Structure 1
Amino acid sequence: MKKFQTLLYYCYSHIAGAEQFADDHLKFCKSLGLVGRIIVADEGLNGTVSGTQEACEAYMAAVKADERFAKTDFKIDDVEEPSFIKMHCRYKAEIVHSGLRDPNIIDPNRQTGKHLEPAEFQKMIDQDDVVILDVRSNYEHNLGKFKNALTLDIENFREFPDKINELAKYKDKKVLTYCTGGIKCEKASALLLHHGFNEVYQLHGGIIKYGKEAGGEDFEGKCYVFDNRIAVDVNTVNPTVVSKCFNCGKTTPKMINCANPECNEHITQCDECGEELQGCCSVACTSNPRKRKYDGTGYYVKVPQPVNVAKK
């Protein structure tokens, strides 16, 4: 049995005094010995935390005991070791950066796409009148995506609103949105509804929950995650590898961050190119004097990285 767990979760729920809450929540997480990354905003929580099973159970119980977050859906992975090195809890304007801050337009608690459980999503994806829409960034869907999914050329989710006109031709279709854990779909589906799309759905719990409850069927490749693991397997039914090495084009499931910290590009890279380029995305990046030592994983803790200090 694996000793540790990693929790992925979010909850849209107004937090009064969110900046103070972030400081207090950081102190609480540290008291449990958790590591991870949590974003706190006036609109709610978005986090991935990791620790012992006992610590994770205590954390989930405490979060759900707060009536503001009672509806939080935790995605739980058993892991060999914690998925982070440090504990961060920061206050930001949004729990997922979209630039959509007008509650009259986007408020996931008021209007969002119809939530589909994994089994329901699985039944709908092959229907003729359905469009499967991946709302994630390029580096995520390049690593893995649902079969026949429509992907968008975006580097960050905040670019999603600019793609609405491109999607207008699907207004009369059933649009099934999905992302890693569901948080981006809450705002993406709300925006689509605001712009007149007739039927908008979202995969409840995202790719991660789909993998656990539906075996990940027809999800091609791996799923990018925002912790030390970088990528996780999802499909146990009909798995495939779809991503190709950024440098040589060879099929590979491996995702790395460029070893040049001034680049830090997310790319898929085979082991051979990784060794040859010392974990960099290009020959030019290998000459950077700040180049990090490549250990074969391609994951690096960002340095320097400010850490919240609980107020005394």
Structure 2
Amino acid sequence: MDPNSHKKHLINRLNPEELKQRLANETYSRTTVSFYRYVIIDNPSELRDILYYMWDKLQCYGRIYLANEGINAQMSVPDHFWQDFKEQLNTIPQFKDIPFKIAVEDNGQSFLKLQIKVRQQIVADGLQSDEYDVTNVGQHLSAQQWNQAMDEGAIVVDMRNHYESEIGRFDGAILPDAETFKEELPEVVDKLKGKEDQKILLYCTGGVRCEKTSAYLKHHGFSDVNQLLGGIIDYTRQIESENIENKFIGKNFVFDNRLGERISDDIISHCHQCGAPCDTHTNCANKQCNLLFIQCESCRAKYDACCSNDCQSYILAPDEKKPELAQQLTFTRGKRFHKPVRSA
């Protein structure tokens, strides 16, 4: 397979509205899947083009990161191409028999396009290579083993960001007040000081962040480090297929257009504008702001899906007034908040 003669097909050329319409016109169902693997990739740029050409032909969408250290992927695959997708992935030696995590809730709308990006790391941690050995990871626990360890009093640590744990978590977990994985690592080590000999349980969405965290903790002298096999996604599959007690409460935040999968009926968070029980994340309708926040249906209607009065004023203004308003008003511009963004 030579992608070099097909360079014009290796990027998306449709605008957002065209992408939405393309997805709306589909008459088939899709499966949302995530997977990762830490493995040496000598030429990630070359592999990027091979994967793009291969997956574009299968009408796959998603967000995939490649680096010399491996792959981290979240994808939407047409069901009628699912077997082809798996077989083709197995032809690449580094990804043969890679474990899949299938979405808990799937409306087929998780991604609009295919993006494959080459990065320095598949999960940015800000660390030097000599600060941990990513091959020296903690023990992987099944859902049953995880529940038992929780019952026995092990220390549970959520390795996700604050806006993820706000809507769903394991009860009693340590919840870092961080917005990035890079910020989380030193905070977790600090919170666990003096507990180096105790049993530590780590969890995240699909497991990729826990791989690095477990290696980092072992490097810092923690002797009994464990991680949830397949993350929250596979934990949910296991509890359902094996009729195991569910100890996760609320929603699992996901990094695609769905923004969340319901794991239990509990609503543990609140609307950031009025304080009503709510666990629905949204992005501010003002694209100049794009704040990720929690908003109930009532506030969505009241504020036109905006996070603030300034953003609402901006989107309702005539187009000719918007440049002037953009200079006068205050927009959050993409930050993520876990506290109210305006008074009720």
> When the two structures are superposed, what TM-score results if normalisation uses the length of structure 1?
0.86
Aligned equivalent of 1:74: 100
Aligned equivalent of 1:177: 202
The alignment status of 1:288 with 2:314, answered yes or no, reads yes
Aligned equivalent of 1:118: 143
Distance 1:95 1:290 in 2: 39
Alignment match of 2:48 (pick from 22, 32, 36): 22
**What does the per-residue CA deviation read over 1:38-71, in whole Å, with 9 as the maximum and x for residues that have no partner?**
0011111111111211323322222233221224
Alignment match of 1:221 (pick from 250, 255, 258): 250
Larger radius of gyration: 2
The aligned runs of 1:1-312 (5 Å cut-off) are 3-77=29-103, 79-102=106-129, 104-108=130-134, 110-128=135-153, 130-163=154-187, 164-215=189-240, 217-235=246-264, 239-288=265-314
Distance 1:3 1:280 in 2: 31
CA contact (8 A) 1:260 1:290 kept: no
State the Cα distance separating 1:119 from its structure 2 match: 1.7
Q: SS at the partner of 1:262?
A: coil
Distance 1:23 1:97 in 2: 22
Please identify, of 15-24 and 79-88, the stretch whose mean Cα deviation from structure 2 is larger.
Answer: 79-88
Q: SS at the partner of 1:201?
A: strand
Structure 1 alignment gaps of length 5 or more? 292-301, 303-312
State the Cα distance separating 1:219 from its structure 2 match: 0.9
Aligned residues: 285
CA contact (8 A) 1:131 1:170 kept: no
Distance 2:316 2:228 in 1: 41
State the Cα distance separating 1:132 from its structure 2 match: 0.6
State the Cα distance separating 1:112 from its structure 2 match: 0.8
Q: SS at the partner of 1:149?
A: coil
Structure 2 alignment gaps of length 5 or more? 1-27, 318-333, 335-344
CA contact (8 A) 1:36 1:50 kept: yes
Considering Cα pairs closer than 8 Å and 6+ residues apart, tell me whether 1 or 2 has the greater RCO.
1
Q: CA RMSD in A?
A: 2.0
